[in-house]
Amino acid sequence: MLLNTVLALLGLSAGMVLHFRWHPLRRAFSESWDLLQLRQAWVLLPAFCLLFWPQRSRSVAEWEIWQELWPDLLREGCAAATQLFHEVAPPWPLALALPLLLVLLTVRVWRWPYRYAERAATTQQKIGLIGLSSSAMLWLGIEISSWQVIHPEWVETGKLAARSIFSALSTAGIQVWLAGLVVIWQAPRAPQADTDAVNALETTFARWPDVLQLGAFNLLWMSWRDWSSQVTGFTAWLLPEFWLLFATLPTAVALSSGRTPFWLIGATALRALRHAFPALLGSLISAVAVMMLVSYATGMILSVSETYGWLGWGARGLSALVLAMLRVWLCLTFILVMLRHGFPSVSPALPAR
């Protein structure tokens, strides 16, 4: 039975390769893969975070009866693929770096008031940044100290609440940074490609008020996701539809001027979704299929290797690396599709081939 499953996986994998070879949007899939090859280090951080991300475990016998698993795999694949519109990597423990970035942003806004906007930040905005940076550093100190010290219950409760807030904010920042990076990659501002990541970070800093509001939006759906993690049936499909409805929002924030009200950015995102929806749906269907296939293969490998001690840890690391590569590749593809079909004015003309 296991041999038949392996042969079926090999056949499906070959079919997926041919599928992407003749896909109508193969240019976007191909170019996002090229970009990922140029920035292979991007895969390491998501892979590291996936090691800490809880995964649903199944026995080998359950994996072999794939006829009974495919409805759950379809739902999980849809959720995983649509989630990439808003979260390319699990926020924990990447969120631990956010306090340092907030301090850097606060210093730069105070020292160079006209660097990120035509007008200097107001006193209320500067005070708000100081308060946010101080709160983030306090939370970071509590997180680090909790590795050695057992805190009172009220401190632990506050720590978990702050972790949710800063995880949502870091997710927003990463997604806006990644969209800005793709924009710069399409139309380079400088001949040195090594500065693209820094330029994208500056772009994200320039939109920090919008990123904060996007973080509040992320906090809503992340809370919804945690609440509905054990829900099945029709309710389990609502969150992927919500992710799809606001798929273009992070990209719209990355393309905003930094002075546009957030509700206008949301309206722009919905208009872009209307234009890009057919192409986005075509890429999403393929993403769900490959997500299901890779999730099934990695889940089967992990279940088989669990009984072999150190081999299980190696298989877990390899699975995290494969899933991280897949997530980054598909996320870059989605951003390219959104830029070219939903925001065509910011995308350069496609070269003749």
Task: Work out the mean pLDDT of the chain and round it to a whole number.
Answer: 79
Confidence (pLDDT) at 307: 66
Angle at 77 between CA 73 and CA 83, to 5 degrees: 150
Q: Where residue 349 falls among pLDDT bands split at 50, 70, 90? A: very low
Which residue has 């693209």 as its token pair?
196
Determine contact, residues 32/338, Cβ cutoff 8 Å.
no
Q: How far is Cα 101 from Cα 173, in angstroms, rounded to an integer?
A: 10
Q: Where residue 169 falls among pLDDT bands split at 50, 70, 90? A: very high
Q: Is residue 353 part of a domain?
A: no
Q: How far is Cα 329 from Cα 268, in angstroms, rounded to an integer?
A: 25
In order, the DSSP letters of 121-175 are PPHHHHHHHHHHHHHHHHHHHHHHHTTT----HHHHHHHHHHHHHHHHHHHHHHH
Confidence (pLDDT) at 319: 82
Confidence (pLDDT) at 91: 87
Q: Is residue 288 part of a domain?
A: yes
Tokens of 72: 């759950």
Q: How far is Cα 207 from Cα 39, in angstroms, rounded to an integer?
A: 24
Q: What is the dihedral of CA 77, 83, 85, 88, to 10 degrees?
A: -100
Q: How far is Cα 247 from Cα 280, in angstroms, rounded to an integer?
A: 9
Q: Is residue 50 part of a domain?
A: yes
| Domain of residue 181, residue span | 2-346
Q: How far is Cα 105 from Cα 206, in angstroms, rounded to an integer?
A: 9
Q: Where residue 353 falls among pLDDT bands split at 50, 70, 90? A: very low
DSSP-derived letter for residue 189 is: S
Confidence (pLDDT) at 176: 92
Q: Where residue 323 falls among pLDDT bands split at 50, 70, 90? A: confident
pLDDT at 2 over 60: no
Residues in the chain: 353
Backbone region of residue 239 per phi and psi (left: phi > 0; alpha: psi in -120 to 50; beta: other values): alpha
pLDDT at 200 over 90: no
Q: Give me the mean pLDDT over the 213-222 stretch.
A: 91
Determine contact, residues 116/82, Cβ cutoff 8 Å.
no
| C-alpha separations of 231 from 54, 97, 223 in Å | 16, 32, 14
Confidence (pLDDT) at 21: 63
1-5, 33-37, 102-106: lowest mean pLDDT where?
1-5
pLDDT at 160 over 80: yes
Burial of 296 (0-12, 13-18, 19+ CB in 10 A): buried
Confidence (pLDDT) at 189: 60
User: How many helical (H) and strand (E) elements, i.e. helices and strands, does the chain have?
Assistant: 14, 0
Q: Is residue 61 part of a domain?
A: yes
Q: Is residue 351 part of a domain?
A: no
Confidence (pLDDT) at 308: 66
Confidence (pLDDT) at 194: 61
Q: Is residue 307 part of a domain?
A: yes
Q: Is residue 352 part of a domain?
A: no
Q: Give me the mean pLDDT over the 157-163 stretch.
A: 88
Per the structure, how many domains does the chain have? 1
- 286-297 pLDDT, tens digit per residue, is 888 888 888 887
- 6-35 pLDDT, tens digit per residue, is 555 555 555 556 556 666 777 888 888 888
Q: How far is Cα 221 from Cα 223, in angstroms, rounded to an integer?
A: 5
Q: Is residue 184 part of a domain?
A: yes
Confidence (pLDDT) at 14: 58
- 35-78 pLDDT, tens digit per residue, is 887 777 778 888 888 887 766 666 666 666 766 777 778 888 88
Q: How far is Cα 16 from Cα 20, in angstroms, rounded to an integer?
A: 6
Q: How far is Cα 258 from Cα 262, in angstroms, rounded to an integer?
A: 9
End-to-end Cα spacing for the chain: 46
Q: Give me the mean pLDDT over the 298-315 stretch.
A: 71
Q: How far is Cα 240 from Cα 108, in angstroms, rounded to an integer?
A: 37
Q: Give me the mean pLDDT over the 185-201 stretch.
A: 70
pLDDT at 149 over 60: yes
pLDDT at 229 over 70: no
Q: Give me the mean pLDDT over the 302-314 stretch.
A: 69
pLDDT at 186 over 80: no
Nearest CA to 24 among 341, 331, 270?
A: 341
pLDDT at 225 over 70: yes
Q: How far is Cα 173 from Cα 190, in angstroms, rounded to an integer?
A: 23
